[in-house]
């Protein structure tokens, strides 16, 4: 059955498709769906523009362009084989030669299969070479690429190689972003510098062009992550393609151009423009290199409170904030510090931190523990001495008496009876001072020999020795028993006989002695006599 749909002419004016019979309605619906699909799925795609005859093959000759190309201006040449040029092509058999001067250019051009789009980013690769002699002398090579809307149009300079003089083929890649759309692309020898050799001093050989590819250019940046804390970030800036862009970061599957709160590691991103161009990049989020160390100066002497701490901060993200023992501080040197613990917390603008503990401990105080004075033997000699026992401070110590020369020995000998002022300093110059009195028990110098002794261990007169009140030298004391056997001898005036011989105590009896010495006046003396050992 043929179904006819009637409709109000007024309401359906401008919609003639709906006046059709049922089969026609189906056709109308199909066309409508097809049209909708066109709008839904016909999004712009990435451009890959293939150039015709990209290897520039053709019959060698002058004033010609290879098939698929047009002479843009003047007289380009297909090489080799003309003007004495026998250089081998980089690809295929032939290549193009272009010359230029200040008022002269040669170029070739081609209409593109679809226009270059404004503000899109493209790249194009090719091989270039220079020849110093090509018909005449040349100074350098330089290639320029132009975009235009009509044949011969060079309204926008897209790229130049800059001057070069290498005669070997080398691969070049031009990257350009047109300010407006262009249907034509052209290649010219291009004078930028003056040539003193010839008014047509620029020559460039070109061969083996690639596809013109639409590209995205990504610029990736990263900030480091704090140690043990995810504070790193990555970001990507895109040039070329059509907005909006989509992003995919791995690991993490993040989909924004900037990602924060990341741990250290390698991150890759794929960017896709609205016209289907993709680009990939990778960036490393490093670990923060924020570091701090200290130079500590300790007070030389106890109680000086002159210790100092210098803080050296490197890395991270300046400027830095500093907290010392819980208080915000400025600067990096702290002086006149008292002993104690100092905690430094350094933070950068990324809020990474480093903590340092510094213990200030001054040297122990210099203390004179003992001052031992040895009296003079008599008032006429200088055999008194002062000896000090010192602790603390910083070794070694030095000593002096009554402003004399410093000496390293803690014993100061050869002193007469009298009052003395002494000074003691350590290696840092920390010092103590005091006074001491050297006495003399006897006015006159003499040696007194006792007549008896009692070695019974009561601490009183236990030894037989002379009482020496003189600075004697060459001293010798010998003791004999009544049979003339030697039972004791010494050369030390401070040593005496304890009543033993060969480990055996001697009985009470008289013993003979001989004591010889030189006096302080260098007089030789010898005393002989007996001494009674009393039990």
CATH of the domain at 330: 2.60.40
Last residue of a domain, one of 389, 418, 438: 438
* Cα–Cα dist 535/530, whole Å: 16
Report the CATH number at residue 504: 2.60.40.1220
Contact partners, residue 90, CB within 8 Å, separation at least 6: 127, 129, 169, 207, 208
Query: How confident is the model at residue 45, as a pLDDT?
Result: 67
The pLDDT of residue 379 is 84
Angle among Cα 322, 328, 329 to the nearest 5 degrees reads 70
pLDDT of amino acid 459:
87
Asked whether residue 29 falls in the same domain as residue 58, the answer is no
Q: Which contacts (CB < 8 Å, 24+ apart) does range 331-335 have?
A: 333/308, 333/309, 334/308, 334/309, 334/310, 335/306, 335/308
The verdict on 263 and 304 lying in the same domain is: no
Tens-place pLDDT, residues 403-441: 999 999 999 999 999 999 999 999 999 999 999 999 988
Same domain, 92 and 144: yes
* Burial label, 165 (beta-carbon count in 10 A; 0-12, 13-18, 19+): exposed
* Chain segment 392-407, per-residue pLDDT in tens: 999 999 999 999 999 9
Question: In the chain, how many domains are there?
Answer: 6
- Pair 307, 324 in one domain: yes
What is the spatial distance between Cα 303 and Cα 362, in angstroms, rounded to a whole number?
8
* Joined tokens for residue 245: 């862009």
Q: Return the structure tokens found at 462.
A: 């236990």
Do residues 106 and 151 share a domain? yes
Residues 503 and 458 in one domain: yes
Query: Using CA atoms, how far apart are residues 416 and 280, in angstroms rounded to an integer?
Result: 96
Q: Extract long-range pairs of 76-85: CB within 8 Å, 24+ residues apart.
A: 76/106, 76/107, 76/108, 79/205, 83/134, 83/135, 84/133, 84/134, 84/135, 85/131, 85/134
Q: Which of 390, 414, 438 is the last residue of a domain?
A: 438
| 392 and 356 within one domain | no
Encoded tokens for 230: 């995810």
Q: What is the pLDDT of residue 21?
A: 42
CB 56 within 8 A of CB 96: yes
Task: Please count the other Cβ atoms lying within 10 Å of the Cβ belonging to residue 28.
Answer: 16
Judgement on whether residues 121 and 234 belong to the same structural domain of the protein: no
Regions of the chain with pLDDT less than 70: 1-45
DSSP-derived pairing of the beta strands 212-215 and 48-49: antiparallel
User: First vs last Cα of the chain: how many Å apart?
Assistant: 164
426 and 455 co-located in one domain: no
Rounded distance between C-alpha atoms, residue 44 and residue 390, angstroms? 94
**CATH number of the domain encompassing residue 419:** 2.60.40.1080
- Measured CA angle at 378 (ends 372, 379), to 5 deg: 100
The CB density around residue 475, as the number of other CB atoms within 10 Å, is 19
Check whether residue 297 and residue 375 sit in a common domain: no
Verify that 82 and 177 share a domain, yes or no: yes
- What pTM does this model have? 0.54
C-alpha to C-alpha distance for 153 and 404, rounded to whole angstroms = 103
Q: Please say whether the beta carbons of 234 and 221 come within 8 A.
A: yes
Dist. CA 26–CA 455, nearest whole Å:
147
- Phi (first) and psi of residue 71, to 5 degrees: -70, 115
CATH number at residue 133: 2.60.120.260
Among the candidates 406, 438, 470, a domain finishes at: 438
Distance of CA 445 to the CA centre of its chain: 77
Q: State the Cα–Cα distance between residues 493 and 515, nearest whole angstrom.
A: 10
Residue among 141, 163, 167, 188 at smallest CA distance from 88: 167
123 with 183, same domain: the answer is yes
Q: What residues make up the domain containing 71? A: 49-214
How far apart CA 435 and CA 233 sit, in angstroms, is 72
pLDDT value, residue 43 = 38
């Amino acid at each position: 059955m043929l179904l006819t749909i009637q409709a109000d002419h007024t309401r359906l004016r401008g919609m003639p498709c709906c006046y059709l019979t049922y089969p026609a309605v189906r056709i109308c619906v199909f066309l409508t769906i097809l049209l909708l699909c066109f709008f839904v799925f016909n999004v712009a795609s990435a451009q890959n523009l293939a150039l015709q005859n990209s290897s520039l093959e053709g019959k060698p000759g002058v004033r010609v362009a290879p098939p698929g190309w047009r002479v843009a201006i003047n007289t380009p040449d297909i090489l080799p084989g003309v003007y004495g040029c026998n250089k081998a092509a980089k690809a295929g058999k032939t290549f193009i030669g272009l010359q230029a001067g200040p008022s002269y250019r040669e170029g070739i051009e081609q209409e593109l299969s679809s226009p270059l789009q404004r503000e899109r980013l493209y790249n194009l690769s090719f091989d270039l070479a220079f020849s110093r002699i090509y018909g005449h002398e040349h100074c350098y090579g330089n290639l320029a690429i132009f975009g235009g809307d009509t044949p011969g149009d060079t309204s926008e300079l897209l790229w130049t190689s800059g001057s070069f003089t290498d005669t070997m083929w080398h691969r070049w890649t031009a990257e350009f972003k047109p300010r407006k759309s262009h249907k034509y692309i052209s290649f010219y020898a291009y004078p930028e510098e003056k040539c003193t050799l010839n008014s047509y001093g620029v020559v460039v050989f070109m061969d083996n062009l690639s596809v013109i590819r639409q590209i995205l250019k990504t610029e990736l940046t990263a900030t480091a992550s704090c140690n043990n804390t995810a504070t790193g970030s990555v970001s990507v800036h895109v040039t070329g393609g059509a907005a909006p862009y989509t992003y995919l970061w791995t690991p993490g599957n993040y989909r924004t151009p900037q990602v924060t709160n990341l741990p250290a590691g390698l991150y890759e991103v794929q960017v896709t423009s609205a016209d289907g161009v993709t680009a990939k990049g990778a960036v490393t989020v490093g670990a923060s290199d924020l570091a701090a160390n200290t130079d500590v100066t300790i007070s030389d002497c106890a109680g000086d409170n002159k210790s100092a701490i210098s803080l050296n901060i490197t890395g991270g993200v300046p400027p830095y904030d500093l907290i010392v023992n819980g208080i915000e501080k400025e600067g990096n040197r702290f002086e006149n510090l008292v002993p104690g613990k100092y905690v430094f917390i350094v933070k950068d603008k990324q809020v990474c931190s480093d903590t340092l503990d510094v213990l200030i401990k001054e040297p122990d105080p210099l203390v004179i523990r003992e001052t031992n004075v040895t009296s003079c033997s008599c008032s006429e000699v200088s055999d008194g001495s002062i000896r000090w026992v010192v602790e603390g401070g910083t070794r070694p110590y030095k000593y002096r008496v009554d402003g004399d020369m410093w000496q390293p020995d803690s014993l100061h000998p050869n002193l007469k009876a009298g009052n003395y002022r002494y000074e003691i300093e350590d290696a840092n110059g920390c010092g103590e001072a005091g006074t001491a009195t050297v006495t003399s028990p006897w006015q006159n110098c003499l040696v007194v020999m006792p007549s008896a002794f009692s070695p019974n261990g009561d601490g009183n007169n236990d030894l037989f020795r002379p009482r020496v009140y003189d600075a004697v030298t060459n001293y010798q004391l010998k003791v004999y028993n009544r049979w003339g056997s030697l039972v004791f001898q010494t050369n030390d005036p401070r040593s005496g006989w304890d009543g033993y011989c060969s480990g055996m105590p001697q009985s009470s009896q008289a013993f003979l002695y001989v004591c010889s010495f030189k006096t302080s006046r260098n007089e030789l003396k010898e005393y002989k006599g007996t001494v009674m050992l009393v039990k």
